[in-house]
Amino acid sequence: MRSDRAPLGLKIAAGAGLAFLHLPILLIFVYAFTTEDTSYQWPPPGLTLEWFAVTWNRPDVWEALGLSLKVACFSTAIALVLGTLCAAAVARSRFFGREAISLLVILPIALPGIITGISLRSAFHLMDIPFSTLTIVLGHATFCIVVVYNNAVARFRRTSASLIEASMDLGATSFQTFRLVILPNIATALLAGGMLAFALSFDEVIVTTFTAGRQQTLPIWMLEELVRPRQRPVTNVVAMVVVLVTFLPILGAYYLTRGTETVAGHGK
Amino acid sequence: MSDAASPSRLSDTLWRRPRLLLLLLLIPPALWLGIVYLGALFALLAQSFFSIDDFTGLIRYEWTLRTYGELFRAANLDIILRTVAMATAVTIGAAIIAFPIAYFAARYARGKWKAVFYLGIMLPLWSSYLVKVYAWKLILAREGILNWLFETLHLGWLLNAYLSLPVVGGNSLSVSWTGTFLVFLYVWLPYMILPVQASLERIPPSLIEASGDLGADPRATLRNVILPLALPGIVAGSIFTFSLTLGDYIIPQIIGTSARMIGQAVYQFQGTAGNIPLAAAFAVVPIVIMGIYLTIARRAGAFDAL
């Protein structure tokens, strides 16, 4: 006989596990309002909104945020194009080297980030390429491709080939078919993949430390504060904002791909 | 006339020759990954076969295995063994905590709860890595919430007794191996939950019923039916937890003792020490370990569970 109710022990273990995953993030929200500014004292001696105003007036935070957004936009755009092309090729046909291509796409995220980072750095060094926004984007786009690819390849497999044949039979050219038939079918998968790629790039720190030179993206700014804490209250506020900013694309990607077999996010 | 005809002629060509279309689709991503990624990777690997001149501190561009020999010096071997031990501990810990969550989500969560569990695993997975590390810095700090909790429950003596233990203890949790372990465990846990959940969802409920009908108690069913079928998922998850721990250099730098792990060694050798060949040789270590690991995992059927 199979009971549909979970044993109590399992419920407690699963609930405790979820709590373990979420309580540390909730703690960040409390610390953003604390009046204590020299230590990580718990419980907070008082609550204040003061640090939000202080953070708002900090030019270095705005600059780091701006650079992060710029890098994430460019990397996402490149990853969208390359990831979709790659997915279209792999999903539709069998060819020599197909396995190698899918491995190549996954490799940048399967190998530890430090290896990707140090490889790019020594390559830039060998070729005398100075560090710039471009070098950051080169690194980010490389590991963002896989996220778009995973989402797009799943959708291509579910899209029926007869749709495309029907469109061509009815006299549409390849380009019209792409614009009017293929694109509407894969649009939500691309949007979801793009959002996840954006979140991945916005948050990336390990590869970025090797490709940024002196520039500061928001994660690099946070890393500086973690290694040498200077303005703890400002860091608390920035940490909370970063959590909120990354949650939005994840929720968006979830609602866009809900109900399909492969829900976005499995690809990280 | 010819202007209007050329796009449609191109379109016809693409339709008649799918191989050409395939080639056009593949060239941009293959070029990007081939040049930017593989090129850089080989540039790094090549450097590991050079060596550094002890007197001048400059790189000698002659093929040699001397740099790899240096990996086996006691201090460097310590770093490698320490990192592998940590990765193993994190992987085992993650498997134990992940299993009940994955099992509940796969077998009992329905409707609304399914979505709650899905997002409950996905949001921590995707939220900022640094913010998560920062949260643990707040938690483990001497004046932080964990110490406060122990004091409030009058269990401060227990924490102090634990911290006085060798190896796992230290001056405070934030500078101990226990601290490093907890943060690794926390940050990589979702990577373990997802594949385990995927493998559990594929177990037909009838199999579990059959086991019960044949007289097995729940414990025996878990051991003889569910765990063997979930094993590929656990192995798939362990690929992530193991690989990510091997290469990380930020967590042990912020929370932990002064003893280094592989990632930190790579970072220092290429940065302050300026010994790129040794850094490159160190970077090969996780690649080789993961290569061996993946070969074993493939035999265990882990790739079907990804």
How confident is the prediction for chain B on average, in pLDDT? 86
Q: Could you tell me which chain A residue has the CA closest to the CA of B15?
A: A174
- Tell which residue, A240, A267, A263, has the closest CA to residue A253: A263
What's the mean pLDDT in B191-216?
88
Shortest Cα distance from A268 to chain B (angstroms)? Answer: 8
Residue A117 lies in a domain: yes
pLDDT at B167 over 60: yes
| Structure tokens that stand for A155 in this block | 């959708």
User: What is the pTM assigned to this prediction?
Assistant: 0.85
Q: How many CB pairs under 8 A join A and B?
A: 256
* B14 interfaces chain A, CB cutoff of 8 Å: yes
In a domain, A48, yes or no: no
Residue B145 or residue A262, greater confidence = B145
**In this structure, is residue A23 part of a structural domain?**
no
Distance CA A139, CA B261 (A): 24
**In angstroms, rounded to a whole number, what is the distance separating the alpha carbons of residues B89 and B170?**
18
CA distance B37 to chain A (A): 7
A77 touches chain B (CB under 8 A): no
User: Residue A4's pLDDT is what?
Assistant: 65
Q: Give the C-alpha separation, A145 to A79, whole Å.
A: 4
The span from the CA of B84 to the CA of B285, in Å, is 10
Distances from the Cα of B45 to the Cαs of A142, B78, B167, B270, in angstroms? 19, 22, 34, 13
One-character DSSP codes across A207-255: HHHHH-TT---HHHHHHHHHHS-S-HHHHHHHHHHHHHHHHHHHHHHHH
pLDDT number for residue A266:
47
Tell me which chain B residue has its CA closest to the CA of residue A8.
Answer: B104
- B28-60 pLDDT, tens digit per residue, is 888 888 888 888 888 888 888 888 877 777 777
CB atoms within 10 A of CB B209: 13
Query: Do residues B61 and B159 touch, judged by C-beta distance below 8 A?
Result: no
The A residues from 192 to 231 touching B (CB cutoff 8 Å) are 196, 199, 203, 205-206, 219, 222-223, 226-227
Q: Is residue A96 part of a domain?
A: yes
Q: How confident is the model at residue B143 (pLDDT cuts 50, 70, 90)?
A: confident
User: What is the number of other CB atoms lying within 10 angstroms of the CB of residue B230?
Assistant: 25
Chain B residue closest to A243 (CA)? B127
Q: Which residues of B touch A40 (CB under 8 A)?
A: 137-138, 141, 143-144
Reply yes or no on whether the pLDDT at A51 is more than 60: yes
pLDDT of A67 over the 50 cut: yes
- Any domain includes A73: yes
Question: What's CA A215's distance to the chain center, in Å?
Answer: 20
Q: Tell me which residue has tokens 């009971």.
A: A3
Q: How many domains does chain A have?
A: 1
Task: Write down the pLDDT at residue A264.
Answer: 47
Per-residue pLDDT band for B21 (boundaries 50, 70, 90) equals confident
B247-293 pLDDT, tens digit per residue, is 888 999 999 888 889 989 988 888 777 788 888 898 889 888 888 88
Q: What is the 3-state secondary structure (H, E, C) of A2-64?
A: CCCCCCHHHHHHHHHHHHHHHHHHHHHHHHCCECCCCCCCCCCCCECCHHHHHHHCCHHHHHH
Nearest to A196 by CA among A253, A123, A134: A253
Which residue stretches of A93-217 are H helix?
98-110, 113-126, 133-158, 161-169, 174-177, 183-203, 206-211
Question: Average of pLDDT values for B117-143?
Answer: 88
pLDDT higher at A219 or A265: A219
Q: Say how far apart CA B14 and CA B9 lie, in whole Å.
A: 9
Residue of B nearest to A126 (CA): B43
Model confidence at B89, in pLDDT bands (50, 70, 90)? Answer: very high
Q: Give A94 or B70, the one with higher predicted confidence.
A: B70
Predicted confidence at residue B187, as pLDDT, reads: 93
Q: How confident is the model at residue B77 (pLDDT cuts 50, 70, 90)?
A: very high
Per-residue pLDDT at A69 exceeds 80: yes
| pLDDT per residue as tens digits for the range A103-126 | 788 888 778 888 888 888 888 888
Q: Which residues 47-106 on chain B approach chain A with CB closer than 8 angstroms?
A: 47, 97-98, 100-101, 103-105
Q: Is A260 exposed, middle or buried (0-12, 13-18, 19+ CB in 10 A)?
A: middle
A161 touches chain B (CB under 8 A): no
* Between B297 and B194, the higher pLDDT residue: B194
Smallest Cβ distance to B43: which of A28, A119, A243?
A119
In a domain, A195, yes or no: yes
Main-chain phi, psi angles of A93, to 5 degrees: -145, 160
Touching check for A147 and chain B: CB below 8 Å?
no
Q: State which amino acid sits at residue B163.
A: L
Is the predicted pLDDT of residue B22 greater than 80, yes or no? yes
Phi first, then psi, for residue B109 (nearest 5°) are -70, 130
Cβ distance of A27 and B43 shorter than 8 Å = no
Residue B303 pLDDT > 70, yes or no? no
In this prediction, residue B93 carries a pLDDT of 96
- For residue range A175-200, list pLDDT tens digits in order: 888 888 888 888 888 888 898 899 88
Nearest chain B Cα distance for residue A172, angstroms: 9
What's the confidence (pLDDT) of residue A259? 63
Tell me the sheet residues that pair with B52. B59
Q: Which residue has the higher pLDDT, B3 or B296?
A: B296
Q: Are A265 and B126 in contact (CB under 8 A)?
A: yes
What CATH number is associated with residue A147? 1.10.3720.10
> Average of pLDDT values for A122-144?
89
Nearest Cα to Cα of residue B233 among B210, B202, B208, B207: B202
Range of the domain at A206: 58-256
Q: What percent of chain A has pLDDT over 70?
A: 95
Q: How far is B59 from chain A (nearest CA, A)?
A: 13
Contact between B285 and B80 under an 8 Å Cβ cutoff? The reply is yes
Hey, what amino acid is at A173?
T
Domain contains A12: no
**What gap in Å lies between CA B128 and CA A223, rounded to an integer?**
12
* Residue B138 contacts residue A31 (beta carbons within 8 Å): yes
The residue of chain A nearest to residue B32, with distances taken between CA atoms, is A142
ipTM of the complex: 0.82
> Among A263, A116, A87, A101, which residue's Cα sits nearest to residue A192?
A263
Chain B contact for A17 (CB, 8 A cutoff)? yes
